[in-house]
Structure 1
Amino acid sequence: MDSLKEKLLSEALQKVLDMTVTDDFLLDTIGDYVVSDVMGFGTTVDEKITGLEGFKKLLEDQQEQSRGIAIRFNTSLIHQRIFANENAAYFSHDFIITIKTESDENVLPLRFSTVFEYLDQNWKLVHWHGSQAVDSEGDTWHRNELVKKNEALQKLVDEKTADLIQKNAELKQAILTLKETQTQLLQQEKLASLGQLTAGIAHEIKNPLNFVNNFSELSQDFIDEIAEELEKLQDSSEKENIQELLEDVKSNLGKIRHHGSRADSIVKSMLMHSRGGSGTVEPTDLNALIKEYSNLAFHGMRASPNPINVEIHLDLDENLGLITLNAEDFSRVVLNLIKNAFDAMRDKISMVGSNYKAKLEIRTKNLTNRVLVVVEDNGPGVPEDIRDKLLMPFFTTKKGTEGTGLGLSITHDIIKSHLGTLEIESTVGVFTRFTIELPINKT
């Protein structure tokens, strides 16, 4: 690379780093070093930037949040590469951010990756990605936050325990009831904390996953450009060898992206498993919901790479009326149970051949103060020794990378949130039946 071009690249890189670590950078000048359709990902899922104005807004927010706080930045270059006839460049920096407040001083380690392209006689930022360290030895910021939360929780537990000890001896039975309730609350708190931890881990995994997926796709584009340039060269055995190697590299990148997308879908399932319901609880026509989503599940299966023929029978009680529930969440229950049934019956077809006729039956029934929903298939059934594990997170009977083991766990959580119950009955080789009972009038 000639010295002028190298100097311009160094200047553009320094300007972009200055944007991220100083609060006095002139934001009106970022168009000189950033393309109008810049895309980037911050350290949280809501920091997805697509465009110069979005990037400018992120920097403005960052300046506003850091105003009045003593912050020091130390950066170090850990990797760089120049691509595509010296017209594209990649850099990766480690940041050590020291945040000093009146009470303490915390350290937050980050990693910042950038991609530049040489356009109109200048280098401009086209993509960036920030990631945040997890459980790092130097990450005192998150460690101190966790300590504060644990202290607050311990104080709350101590206060609750002190209240119980002070109760009158004549209320022993009431105290016993309260202790049982406290045990349940603590268990729920543990589950809630686990959900928050799962969500936090999933968010952090998603950052490097985005990096892997984005740059595998970018690298495939570079290989296509190299292949186009090779076509201009005279044919030779060396050229053929290079083309074969490029095809192998491109194939490997495709596999990286495929499995990266697979991992991304698992992370999304983890996030879905840890989040609370966001829909509205309202009177719902449950029969209509079952008709709509069973039809959706069927046509989705028929459009998949491995469709099967299934006879679906709906036996829906016309006297069911409106049921108070979260239709958005409960539709996932219907889809998960039907999709599992389709997968099971597909496995049975592969085991016993074409003589087997796959059948799925969905029934509803009004039980006066409760409603019954039954989803039954004539698939391979579930062995008794694993039946109790079906509702556990990440447990799956599917082979390889076909399942995440979260579908039935999410289904069970949604049903419990509706104050309902889920029972599983099965005979190996004959049928599997999922029975749901929901209260008609929830308080």
Structure 2
Amino acid sequence: MRDPFAPDFFETPVAPEPPAPVEPVQPVPSFPHRPARSMAAAMLAAGLVVGSVAGGAVGAVLVSHRNTGTSPNAVATVAPGVGAPAASPGSFAAIYQQAKNGVVTINASTSSGGPRSFSQAEGSGIVVDTQGDILTNAHVISGANQIRVTFSDGRTTTGQVKGVDQSADLAVVKVSVSADQLHPLPLGNSDSLQVGDTALAIGSPFGLQGSFTAGIISGLNRGTTAPNGRALTGMIQTDAPINPGNSGGALLDGRGQLIGVNDSIQSPVEGNVGVGFAIPVNRAASLLPSLEKGVAIQHPWLGISGQTLTASTADQLGLSEKSGVLVVQVVPGGPSAKAGLRADGQASANDDVITAIDGHSITTIEELTQYLDTKNVGDRVTLSVTRNGQHISIGVTLGNFQAQPSATP
């Protein structure tokens, strides 16, 4: 469920104490430079858990129409002829100076003609090449008919949506500016992250462009939900403060390399409470070429709604199986319905329980979704199912994800 933030809500994030300075960063590869209109395997793909809200414009979350020139930020000035002190190599300040030009602010406006039919959403974006491609979240630009992109130096231009994948909560916006204005961020490796690693976020929370917050990786392989209800797995969890407007911005490691795209927060109070989520950069890299081309991206789908079965739930329902995925609903006409999976529409003793897929043991719905993400639409999988105490196998041909009222793998 995406819960819009109140426009006047503001919370000043408090960054944790920075670690000791690290060794100077060596140059690392950025997104591959390529001729105009050619593709490169470069970067990005997110989401949002039930009870969480997008860290930027969710669908069309309204934000304060705040003039950045009158924002409450204090602006440091330097007297003419006096240079600003240089940041220590490897410090957070040095990382910010290196990365800030690779993150932009995105304003997405929607108007259907009437005097009360105008809305504006605000988020962030990441420069991915020198051809004008900007990566952001799908929910930032969803439904917009006018997009403005503002760079760190204050220059603004219009943007055109090139590709959108609601199931991954990713989109690419194209801008027409000179190559020297585009500063792609160096790529890290999201597969090598560990809990406790440094996490640094750059974005435009509440319209405060170029805001920089620090924290750590506080969890890995988290599950959230995309704007269209598709379950997302493998998300990066961080306590680096993420707020409305951060969506689509950069999550960096301690060397200033891009490791994720800030996507959402989980909060019961409509503000940052230290649980933010980012889309891993490695996942994004595999989707970027299709997004740049505007090609529709397919995601394999079983067509069920389910929940992780715990021993206590199994005892309450009188199920012999004590772990797996309890199939609560089978989408009519979907792949699993055609294959013969059964469910009552609510948790009951008559529901099928999936215990394995293609011989791989399944104990949580996140494990099931993660396995499906390794498959393609049209692939056939074999489900090990417990039904009324009996063990059976059911073959299912995976379909392409279709948005449903509730998230379905």
Instruction: Settle same-fold status: TM greater than 0.5.
Output: no
Q: Which has the higher strand share?
A: 2
Q: Which has the higher helix share?
A: 1
TM range (shorter): under 0.3
Q: Which has the larger radius of gyration?
A: 1
